[in-house]
Amino acid sequence: MHLSRRDLYKLTAIGAAPLALAACGGASNLENGGGGGDAEKPILTVNATAGQLTKNFNPHSPSVVHMVQGLLYETLFYFNPLEAIDQEPVPLLGETFEWNEEGTVLTVTVRSGVVWTDDTPFTANDVAFTFNKIRDTEALNAGGSAPSAEALDDTTVEIIYAEPSFTEGPNALSRTWMIPEHLFTDVEDLATDANEEPVGTGPFRFEDFTPESYLLLANEKYWESGKPAIGGVRVMTTAGNQSATDMWLTGEIDYMSAAIPNLEEHVADNPDLAFTNTGISQMALMASSNSELGSEGPQTDVAVRKALYFGMDREQLSKLAFFDLGADISPSFALPERDADFIDPSIELAPWNAQPEEAKKILEDAGYELGSDGVYAKGDVRVSMTISCPTGWSDYVTALDTLAEQYKQIGIELIPQQVSVNEWNDAKATGKFQLVIDAVGQGPAPDPYYPYRNQFSTDNMVPVGENGNPYENVTRFSDPDVDAALAAAAATDDPEVKKEQYFIIQQRLFEVMPAIPVLIGSSLTQYNTSKVTGWPTEDNLYAYPMSWAAPDSAMVLKAVVPAT
């Protein structure tokens, strides 16, 4: 067997997600600071998502609450997605891993001496159980390609794939949350069970819950000596970006990731405040695009989607909605700098300024005529579409209002809507929407394979009306050439072979454009340094700093130490 970490993926990457903040509530600290009752250890406050919280601590549920993944339930390893993929990943519940020559068996040695918070020993049997439970859960294995696993002894497990699957390595190693066999054996549906009394191996343990906040205290039984150094984490709701910003400025929130204007001025005025920026979030207008699978509306026409692409003024969007921090995006949905060698050179960057005449020509060539109301139509189909984003996400709200004004100039009516995060995710999951604005997740490692696989593969697509994953193929895009190229890329660790396959995918994405690229936005994370130090800085990005990222936020929260 040989260690095949070398070329699983070639360049640096990051998991990206929307800037999420929201609803009502307040922070509170318990008198007991956790970590064995040391009241002097600070409890940090972190913002959660919109609306009242639902008590769901199942790390494999799409509705799991914030910070369960990583803080309560751990993965085998941690790949820092800001570093090159040839990094030595940080061992967590795993200690070593190795592929066989064919890329079909991944052997992992797991850490000994670890206990679940109910004092039950953690072993390789829990690892094998986790993978097999996922494999046997239809909603978590929609494509039927999830691996099986077998524990060879208490510290060795084999993860077994039906075909060469080098690209699945980081998903298995750093995005699969280990669960205790003795508590989940009788769970009928791993995707829907709420797991209201969580028992994990992570650096924190569950303490209490309300619809406005919940408390995680330091796990005094944690396997990593001296960590965490803080007493706990209070995860709370806010009323949106402005509310969260106000609470950060007044010291009521210690750690969050939000779009805040004039950050440098705020930090200059308050020595307790700091922030980092990692600009890798590929924003897009996701279209429910597949009429054969039930999508309805003018956005199902490629011509309309192309008109949206060319009619967008990205420079204005960057200035008005994203604090002039936006960057060029490629319609290939590979990152222009990081993935430069893997982007078909015939595919140009998205135009920074609107090309209204090109947008109109595309519509007119497709048979649309400008109506007396100033909106293009073909027959009884007006080019009028709704587009949604979560209430309180001020950058997205501004972006949609700006787009609506831009598209008026080219005869397209865009109707922005603000909805709750739950409604937004439900619409994406079922395909019952026309357009949403969202960010393309980069996946567990720096390789375009992951956004392609997650967002554009048939395996991750369900017909409109069925309940899919709101973070996967929400556009309902399906193409046999793309599926074949993904399979070929997964079966090799040769970057040149991957490049050939990616060019095929990129050409189809540009031709069909199920997701309309907007721009690459900034990813801002804010801290309060008065209680603790050791937050990631631009000179020391030991983990991806975003507070919503998992397991990255756990790496941050177990690294910080009380301020002296």
What pLDDT does residue 185 have?
97
pTM, whole model, 2 decimals?
A: 0.71
What are the C-alpha distances in Å from 196 to residues 30, 203, 262, 330, 550?
20, 18, 40, 42, 20
Name residue 527's beta-bridge partners: 255, 274
Which residues touch 230 (CB under 8 Å, ≥6 apart)? 35, 41, 42, 43, 44, 218, 531, 532, 557, 560, 561, 562
Does residue 351 contact residue 315 with C-beta atoms inside 8 Å?
A: no
DSSP state of 247: H
Domain annotation covers residue 116: no
10 within a domain of the structure (yes/no): no
Characterize the bridge pairing of strands 204-209 and 156-160: unpaired
CB distance 235 to 254 below 8 Å = no
Report yes or no on 135 lying in a domain.
Answer: no
pLDDT at 264: 87
CA 11 to chain centre: 19
Number of domains in the chain: 1
488 within some domain: yes
CA distance 117 to 200: 6
3-state secondary structure of 382: strand
How far apart CA 116 and CA 191 sit, in angstroms, is 21
H-helix or E-strand containing 172? Answer: helix 169-174
Residue 101, SS3 per DSSP: coil
Phi and psi, residue 253, nearest 5°: -120, 135
Separate counts of helices (H) and strands (E) for the chain: 14, 23
Length of the chain: 564
Q: What pLDDT does residue 6 have?
A: 23
Burial (0-12, 13-18, 19+ Cβ within 10 Å), 128 = buried
Q: Do residues 552 and 543 make contact, with C-beta atoms less than 8 angstroms apart?
A: yes
Radius of gyration of the chain measured on its C-alpha atoms: 23
Report residues of the chain scoring pLDDT below 70: 1-39, 49-51, 84-86
Is 543 inside a domain boundary?
Answer: no
pLDDT of the residue at 85: 62
Extract the tokens encoding 542. 């030991």
Bridge partners (DSSP) listed for residue 283:
439
Strand spans (E) along 232-383 = 232-236, 255-256, 273-277, 281-287, 369-370, 376-378, 381-382
Which residue segment(s) compose the domain that 399 sits in? 281-521
| Other C-beta atoms lying within 10 Å of the C-beta of residue 19 | 23
Residue 107 lies in a domain: no
| CATH number of the domain that residue 428 is part of | 3.10.105.10
Asked if residue 507 is part of any domain, the answer here is yes
- Domain for residue 462, yes or no? yes
CA distances from 272 to 33, 168, 349 (A): 22, 41, 40
What angle, 0 to 180 degrees and rounded to 10, lies between the N-to-C axes of helices 394-408 and 241-249?
140
> Distance (Å, rounded) from C-alpha 509 to C-alpha 383?
22
